[in-house]
Structure 1
Amino acid sequence: MREAEIIVLDEKDDEYVRVLENFGLGRSMAKIIICLALHQECTSRQIEIITGIKSSTVSIILKKLREDKIVTGSKKAEKDAEREIMHYRLSGSMDHVLAILEERKRKETSQYIEKIKKIKSKLK
C-alpha cells in the first residue's frame, strides 16, 4: 500500500464556487473550474477525489468545458511503458475563463431582453 496526500476543496474554495454559481454555472461545473484553477493540471480521477463529484458527472462536465474552450486536455504517460492518461487544465488564466463566462452571460441576457422586447411589441 502507498500513502498519498489528498487535497480537497475547503470552505474558502467554496466561496469561489458560489461566485461561479452566481454566473449561472452549476455547482459541479463551478467546483471543477475552481479545482483546475487551484491545481493547474489534474486527471479526471484527481478531479473526482478533490471535488467529491462522481466520475460520470466529471466526464460529462469536462466534455462540456472542452467544447466551450474553457478546459483543454492532453494525454500524458504517468510512467514509462504505461498507457497515456488525459490531463486537464484551464485553457488560460482564471481571468480568461471569467471573460468567457461573462461573454456567455452577456449573450444569454441579450437574447432574453430581445424576447421580452418581442413580447412587448406584440402586446401593444
Structure 2
Amino acid sequence: MKKLTVPVLDEKDKEFVETLVNVGLKRNVAKTLVYLANVDETISRDIELGADLRQPEVSIVMRELRDQGWVEEREIKKEGKGRPLKCYKLATSITDIISMLEERKKEEAAVHLENIQKLRNLSDKLK
C-alpha cells in the first residue's frame, strides 16, 4: 500500500477562506484558491483531500477559476490506459486576485451609493 502526503488547510488558511467568503466568493472557490496559493502545482485529487472537497465540487470550481483566468490547467498522461490527470496552478498571484476582488467591491459600492443618492432625490420630490 502507498502512503501519500498531501498538504491540508490549517487554521490560518481557514481564516483566509472565511475572509474570502465574507467578500463574496463561494466557499468552495475560496477553499480551492487558498489551497492553490499554498502549492506550486497540484492535481485535482490533492485538492479534494487538502481542501476537503468532493470531485464534482473541484470540477465546478476549476471551471469557474478558468473562466476568471485565475488558474492554468495541463494534462499529465498516465502510464497505460485511463484518463490523463489534470494538473492545476494559479495563473494569477493571490495578491492580484485580491486586488481584482477589491476593484469589484469598489464598483459594487459605487453602484449602491448611486442608488442611495437616487432614492434621496426621489424622496425629496415626494414632499
TM surpasses 0.5 = yes
Give the paired residue count.
Answer: 124
Contact 1:91 1:97 in 2 (8 A): no
1:58 aligns with 2:58: yes
Distance across 1 between alignment mates of 2:66 and 2:55: 16
Range that drifts further, 43-52 or 11-20: 11-20
1:109 aligns with 2:109: yes
For 1:25-52, what per-residue CA distance to the aligned partner results, in whole angstroms no more than 9, with x for missing partners? 2322211111000012222221111111
SS at match of 1:4: coil
Task: Say what the alpha-carbon RMSD is for the aligned residues.
Answer: 2.1
Structure 2 length as normaliser, TM-score? 0.81
Distance across 1 between alignment mates of 2:78 and 2:99: 33
- Structure showing greater radius of gyration is 2
Q: What letter matches 1:76 in structure 2?
A: I
Give the percent of matched residue pairs that are identical in Structure 1 and Structure 2: 34
- Residue 93 of structure 1 aligns with which residue? 93
Distance across 2 between alignment mates of 1:89 and 1:48: 14
Contact 1:70 1:100 in 2 (8 A): no
For 1:59-102, what per-residue CA distance to the aligned partner results, in whole angstroms no more than 9, with x for missing partners? 22221121122222222325587643222211222211111211
Distance across 1 between alignment mates of 2:5 and 2:71: 25
- Residue 72 of structure 1 aligns with which residue? 72
In the TM superposition, structure 1's runs of 4+ consecutive aligned residues that sit over 3 Å from their partners are 78-83
